[in-house]
Structure 1
Amino acid sequence: MVKLAKNPIPHELLCALLESPHESIILVDKEGIVRYISHAAAKFYQVDDQDIVGSHIHKLNPQSRLPEVIKTGRAEAGSVLRMKGKERIIARIPLRDAEGNVVGAFAKLVFWHMKRAKELVRQTEVLEERLTYYEKELQNLYSSRYDLQLVVGESPPIQDARRVATQAAQSDLSLLITGETGTGKDLFAHSVHRMSSRHDKPFVKVNCGAIPQELFESELFGYEAGAFTGASQKGKPGKFELADGGTIFLDEIGEMPLAMQVKLLRVIQEQEVERLGATKPLKLDFRVIAATNRNLKVMLKGGTFRQDLYYRLNIFHLHTPPLREIRRDIPRMAYQILSSLRTGKRVLPAKISPEVMQLLMSYDWPGNVRELRNILERAAAVAGGEALQEEHLPPDFLENLSHAFRGSGAPPNLKRARELAEKEAIKQALEYTGGNRTQAAELLGIHRTGVHQKMKKYGLE
């Protein structure tokens, strides 16, 4: 209820308000008698205001709904008024006294021209379309990119990782992914989110190793306007707010400062964050997946990682194996990588020669799948449409392979390296196929007779 000031409003101010050239107003009492009509309204109806004041509103407009508004006490906004071939958008508002009784009503012109109303509708529709577009773009930005189908391989460590990922996806409990650099921790994190009930909600990745220590809190939890020097005047939501309803992926969690680990633990336990400069926390709903290539158990003993946070994150534990532990899966991975490189009009090899495959299976791959992809991408670019041969492999790779054999006591020449690689590849193929020479030959890309001859040569019979 509006309260008038002690001193009455000057008459000229009231007149200036009611007689604004931009306003068109008609005021009636509870009986529907016109008590006031502005010059703009009189001009629209093409009447003399002196002739209308004191008359019933139906004399001015037989279809007027002001009596209905007085009767129901409900406002009508955005109605179309058609009068003398013209259309206008008006609002009808009931007037009440201090006790809430309806004592009259007034009609006010909202738009003089329908074109303006239609333009506003058009602009609103454009804004709604843009909002929908940006929501989709944001969803694409914060959505999972990979699924478990991209995880190839049948070795026991890979099967174990897939099993844990499937189990974790059926729960909202925290998941800790550990493994060396380049073993696909990111891929598994995306896959678990995509298989979960939160798959249509945001997937927000945070690289804990790339955030400066002094910005950790504002990046994760956000801040209010003017919370600190240089802060945006609009404030900023943190990564946890962006992940509300979905999953937050804390990559390289082992790089998080000890002081931030305490705050992170509280946020995970309470499921709420407090922006910098805020006076009360925000209740959120998120699932946490963390990953690291560091040995957190060693860090626990050294006091650089909190034990309580470790147990909070490590409810489900998924380990991504290095390539040297799953050598028999390298052929499948290599061909999958080659297939993924075929985009656009690029001409790339469709086959890897047996000699090259043997070298790939014999290398220890300190960079794991990421290094394998790098090697194959470079080799494929050199080979063009031909099958990958040894001469297409990067010199650094061949040199590293030679050093590896040299460190094991083998002569530092590629011929011996190839022989050792060939022997190892045949052993792996036979193990994988359960001793089936035909299947091993198919896997190695050579004839069954060739497998038999090489088995005899290397004493593998």
Structure 2
Amino acid sequence: MRPNNDIGKNMHEITSGDFSVRKIMNEIVGLSPAIVRVKRATRKIAKSDEDCLIIGESGVGKAQVAHIIHRLSRRRSDPLVKLYPSEFYSTKNSQNGEFTQHFDRIISSAAGGTLVVFDVEEFPDQQKFQLQELLQGLNGYKKFWEGSSRPRIISTSKLSPQKALEQKTISTNLYYKLNRLMLEIPALRSRKQDIPYLYQKFIRKAARAQGITLEGYALSDELYDGLMLYNWPGNVKELKNCIRTLVVTAENGLVKPTVLPFLDNKDPLKLFAEKSLPEAVQIVENYLLKKALGRFEGNQTKAAQHLQISEASLRYKLKKYVIDNK
């Protein structure tokens, strides 16, 4: 269903407790069942002090969730240190064990706080081995947090556990040590009902950042249809970039949907040019089902009549595409 524009009110209805906690949790935008589950799991994981593995495609918001877990944890006043695989592929530090020394410096700076290890499957084998030693308390790593405590490790991965182990991008031993707790962030295409909420957040933020005043922030029917039909391979990050483009290219305070390549109405079928026939059918069916349910406010009988299919067929397709019409 297409939501109204009173985003703030809706977001507060699903949170409870201290205002500062609500404010932080509302940074994860959306009301879909999938993202509500992520919010609940995030709060519970933040209360724990166990190491955590966050998995999800590129652009879904793994870094944001890792940051929120730290900010809601008992370590919130201690350092949040980030470690990227790219730090270990530079040729200038490749001699005389400088990578090992760099890793040790990072660990030392994170003592007592949280260490976020991004894309753990992409690290060189030597640094994966160091990470395993750190988790086991071997090789003298305890000296780095004397008088404090070992940093909590939050790692992220683009690969599902099964794929990571099958492709041997991470050892079984290291995987199970990192994966004391696991949180999966869903792809945007599986929670498209959150797109209008994300649109409101991003367009207002982009307008402020660019110093641009828009005539209005409501999502037009044309833009709504285009955003909901597109499959978002780059997930939330791609949506954010697209909305920034809309703001920067606005004319006389009005956004122009056609500046986005996939919203060029001259050839609406070009969205399917690289799709197989079954994939194209799935995209169109998913889109039409959601449109019909939104139009009739979740009434399955009216939606089925509008689509000229039986209610049994409608229910089957809702289950097939995991569409929640509540």
Asked whether the two chains share a fold, i.e. TM above 0.5, the reply is yes
User: Quick check: 2:257–2:263 contact (8 Å CA) kept in 1?
Assistant: no
Residues in 1 aligned to 2:52 and 2:212: alpha-carbon distance in whole angstroms: 39
Partner of 1:191: 68
1:174 paired residue among 28, 51, 58: 51
Residues in 2 aligned to 1:370 and 1:346: alpha-carbon distance in whole angstroms: 21
Q: Quick one: which amino acid aligns to residue 216 of structure 1?
A: F
Q: Quick one: which amino acid aligns to residue 89 of structure 2?
A: P
Residues in 1 aligned to 2:139 and 2:251: alpha-carbon distance in whole angstroms: 54
Residues in 2 aligned to 1:421 and 1:354: alpha-carbon distance in whole angstroms: 17
1:362 paired residue among 229, 232, 235: 229
SS in 2 for 1:383: coil
1:423 paired residue among 270, 288, 297: 288
Partner of 1:304: 169
1:382 and 2:265 correspond: no
1:435 and 2:312 correspond: no
Kindly indicate which of the two structures has a greater share of residues assigned to helix.
2
Shift of 1:259: 2.8
1:261 paired residue among 119, 123, 128: 128
User: Quick check: 1:175–1:290 contact (8 Å CA) kept in 2?
Assistant: yes
User: Quick check: 1:352–1:387 contact (8 Å CA) kept in 2?
Assistant: no
Partner of 1:395: 261
Partner of 1:347: 213
1:203 paired residue among 80, 83, 86: 80
Residues in 1 aligned to 2:300 and 2:78: alpha-carbon distance in whole angstroms: 47
Shift of 1:357: 0.5
Partner of 1:220: 103
User: Quick check: 1:361–1:421 contact (8 Å CA) kept in 2?
Assistant: no
Which blocks of at least 5 consecutive residues in structure 2 are unaligned?
A: 1-22, 312-326
Shift of 1:346: 1.8
Alignment of 1:117-136 (within 5 A): none
Going from structure 1 to structure 2, the CA distance change for 1:251 and 1:379 (only over 3 Å counts) comes to same
Q: Quick one: which amino acid aligns to residue 220 of structure 1?
A: F
Shift of 1:249: 0.4
Going from structure 1 to structure 2, the CA distance change for 1:353 and 1:273 (only over 3 Å counts) comes to farther
Shift of 1:240: 1.2
Kindly indicate which of the two structures has a greater share of residues assigned to strand.
1
Alignment of 1:10-21 (within 5 A): none
Which blocks of at least 5 consecutive residues in structure 1 are unaligned?
A: 1-145, 222-237, 413-418, 438-451
Residues in 1 aligned to 2:205 and 2:139: alpha-carbon distance in whole angstroms: 40
Q: Quick one: which amino acid aligns to residue 239 of structure 1?
A: I
Provide the alpha-carbon RMSD of the alignment: 3.4
SS in 1 for 2:45: helix
1:371 paired residue among 229, 233, 238: 238
Partner of 2:30: 153
Partner of 2:42: 165
Q: Whose RCO is larger (CA < 8 A, sep 6+)?
A: 2
Q: Quick one: which amino acid aligns to residue 180 of structure 2?
A: I
1:318 paired residue among 179, 183, 204: 183
Residues in 1 aligned to 2:200 and 2:289: alpha-carbon distance in whole angstroms: 19
Residues in 2 aligned to 1:369 and 1:163: alpha-carbon distance in whole angstroms: 20
Residues in 2 aligned to 1:281 and 1:333: alpha-carbon distance in whole angstroms: 41
Cα-to-partner distance string for 1:328-377 (whole Å, 9 max, x where unaligned):
11111111111221326322341221111011011110000111111111
Partner of 2:322: none
Q: Quick one: which amino acid aligns to residue 63 of structure 2?
A: D
Using the TM superposition, name which of 374-383 and 308-317 deviates more.
374-383
TM-score (norm 2): 0.72
SS in 2 for 1:194: helix
1:295 and 2:160 correspond: yes
State the identity %. 26
Shift of 1:253: 0.7
Cα-to-partner distance string for 1:66-123 (whole Å, 9 max, x where unaligned):
xxxxxxxxxxxxxxxxxxxxxxxxxxxxxxxxxxxxxxxxxxxxxxxxxxxxxxxxxx
Going from structure 1 to structure 2, the CA distance change for 1:435 and 1:273 (only over 3 Å counts) comes to farther
Residues in 2 aligned to 1:455 and 1:390: alpha-carbon distance in whole angstroms: 30
Cα-to-partner distance string for 1:286-343 (whole Å, 9 max, x where unaligned):
1110001123422323333111111111111111111110011111111111122132
User: Quick check: 2:83–2:118 contact (8 Å CA) kept in 1?
Assistant: yes
Say which one has the larger Rg. 1
Partner of 1:119: none
Going from structure 1 to structure 2, the CA distance change for 1:251 and 1:281 (only over 3 Å counts) comes to closer
